[in-house]
Amino acid sequence: MKAKINAGLTLSKASLLFGFVFGASLVFANPGETTDPNQTALVEPTAESDLALPRELPELEPLLAHPRTSMVIVEQLRRNHYVTKAINDDLSSVVLDNYLKALDGGRYYFLATDVSEFEAYRYKLDDTLKKGDLDPAFTIFNRFQTRVSERLHYLLALIDGGLETLDFEQDEYIEVDRAAAAWPIDLPAQNELWRRRLKAQVLNMTLGDKTLDEIATTLEKRYRNQLKIAMRNRSEDAFQTFMNAFASSFDPHTQYFSPRSSENFNINMSLSLEGIGAVLQTEEDATSVVRLVPAGPADKSGQIKPSDKIIEVGQGTDGPMIDVVGWRLDDVVELIRGPKGSTVRLTVVSGGAEDKESTVVTIERNTIKLEEQAAQAKVITLQDGTEQRRIGVLQIPTFYADFEAQQRGDRDYRSTTRDARRLISELKQTGIDGLIVDLRSNGGGSLQEADSLTGLFLESGPTVQVKTARRRPSVYKNGSSDLVWDGPMAVMVNRLSASASEIFAGALQDYGRALVIGGQTFGKGTVQTLIPLNRGQLKLTAAKFYRVSGQSTQHQGVIPDIAFPALVDNDDIGESTLDDAMPWDMIKPARFTPFSELQDYIPLLQAKHNQRAVNDPHFIYYESLMERSKARSGRELISLKRTVRENEKADDDAWRLALENQLREATGETPIASLDELDDLEEDAAEEDAPLGEIVEVADDPMLTEAGKILADLITVIRDEPNPTTLASQHEWSHARPTNDALTEG
């Protein structure tokens, strides 16, 4: 079962709208929500005996409001979604598959006989949805509840029989990804699957130096908690899951929010929530990190990264650690959230590392201040032959604007464009030869700001096109001619650069105004709108973004002119990884006048970059990590034999230690004796935040430094080897640069 929700002060992957990134998912109601009428007799067990854990969970039924709400959702999608789809048998088939995947994506719970029984609904769900008949949806959900109860009782019985009965010297395996696996044919086959699943969990914990007694205690508590959580599922959960299976058949960003989820969504959108600043998702039993909010507490800790899995949560510096494997996502979020200044501890396992040890991360909760997310200026100083190049860096974590201050008439309200104008002016005063706009991990924000920011680098003209299904594209135009920087520039992006970031980078690339350097962007090129319903609300995809060249930013994103190694696996994160994502396409280009034709210079710049990268210890390091990650991600089976796993772990640790020491020796640092020593050094070396508002020299960012070298190459090439046929005659790569005396004074 997959779901996404926000775990702090941030816009969640499920909640971002016009001009923002990311999209649809399942978000389950909070356990604190009013109990449904058909569950008033439900009493949570308190005893620790098996007798206190019922084998049959209560049957859920639709609420009185659900049929009408379902019919309204059907009509809204039919009339207002960007994609026109007939509510027919073909769609019904997709909805059934989506629903089964949402409930049992790993194909662990349902039996083949269950799925065969559900086949009777494959071409009927379109008809039942139109009539508000939710019986098929609740039949399937209740069967899922039954299977969950059976599986958890089976695991508890295995633990009760003694974990020492598990034989870790057998050549057994478990599949890494069961999304396309066959459903268990019968109960014995399912028991065998779950025996191996338990064995995998025990082996992982054994490799983490846990004793069998400790493991038995942890797992028994975990499975009992999961049974209690299953008891808390309500009719609203079944309804929301099914309606999202229907909504996601249109596109992955269209989503129904129940009343409770709507409340959570609105809190997220108000940016009023205090927490750690992380976007979380669940997939099967794991809670993993999708994205960190720039300048948020989790981001500042330097100890959490996207794809990490959270397995325990503790309050304060010494509160008990609570195992959250298998928990509902909103329950995990409730544990992680908290008031500003309080402390939360998270036990984290590196993403995709089945046999890695866990790390406890301590984070102080906080609100994220606009000042901390604001644009900042840096400088890269490079030696280019006998010449020194100074490259300015404008780092933009998000596209922001203080709309409240703007609406009340505050002449000094903060915004990305206003701050960027000031910072570029300060950079010019210090003397810079080129400018990099750093949009790495910028998930989007205000479309208006992305549009107006282009006006600092381009004369008036179109910046983005927005097309609805039934209207001609609307062209957003920058009407300003207030150029702040007309010199050479580049834009840095990565896989987590999305939406408004893609619009800005795409516009400057289409105009030939800037080199785009880094990684392929996220590819979120759709626009969502909120529609209030009689019960909850619907987030619906109503439009698509298109670049001035006519290319969509959807699915494909922005392809960099010069690519760097991807530190995030594109197969794990990005629009292309989402089911039923809308395709890339093109419309008629907008009328615009190119600034230059930088494409002619790219082969030479690429060759110069390749010459440096092949010997650059940091790029060698990044490439090695990327290749290792790809090799591991291609594994289909994981061994359940202890000696095999111990050898794999030893090999992985030795490989990582050798790679780290190779980098350290190449950069003049002392080699380390163990990975534990590396962890200690990294923790001790955590830099203090640079003073806000001050221009600082770039340090310890090899990719940004190399981007500066590429831009310096461009400056030299244009100066020494100008090609008049490729540069627009009305533009020159010129800018006001202070004299040497002014530089000294700066």
Task: Give the C-alpha separation, 718 to 722, whole Å.
Answer: 5
CA distances to 39, 41, 241, 368, 718 from 232, in Å: 9, 12, 15, 33, 66
Residue with tokens 């298998």: 326
Task: Give the C-alpha separation, 96 to 136, whole Å.
Answer: 10
Q: DSSP readout, 537-568?
A: EEEEEEEEEE-TTSBB-TTT----SEE---SS
Q: How many CB atoms lie within 10 A of CB 116?
A: 11
Out of 499, 552, 596, 639, pick the active-site residue: 499
510 catalytic residue (yes or no): yes
Beta bridge partners of 492: 438, 517
Handedness of CA 635, 640, 644, 648 (dihedral sign): positive
- Nearest Cα to Cα of residue 261 among 245, 284, 241, 231: 241
474 catalytic residue (yes or no): no
**682-703: b or e for each residue (b if 16 or more CB lie within 10 Å)?**
eeeeeeeeeeeeebeebeebbb
Out of 4, 300, 378, 524, pick the active-site residue: 524
Q: DSSP readout, 7-69?
A: -SSS--TTT--TTB-------PPPTTSPPPGGGTT-----SSSGGGS-SSPPPP---TTHHHH
CA distances to 249, 288, 517 from 572, in Å: 20, 12, 21
499 catalytic residue (yes or no): yes
Assess contact for 46 and 332: CB atoms under 8 A.
no
Q: DSSP readout, 603-636?
A: HHHHHHHHHHHTT-HHHHHHHHHHHHHHHHHT--
Widest pairwise Cα distance in the chain: 85
- Nearest Cα to Cα of residue 641 among 200, 193, 190: 200
Cα 412 versus chain centre, distance: 33
Residue with tokens 């309200």: 413
Cα 440 versus chain centre, distance: 13
Quote the tokens at residue 720: 């020494």
Out of 308, 510, 561, 616, pick the active-site residue: 510
- Nearest Cα to Cα of residue 663 among 633, 619, 719: 619
Q: Give catalytic residues, as residue numbers.
A: 499, 510, 524
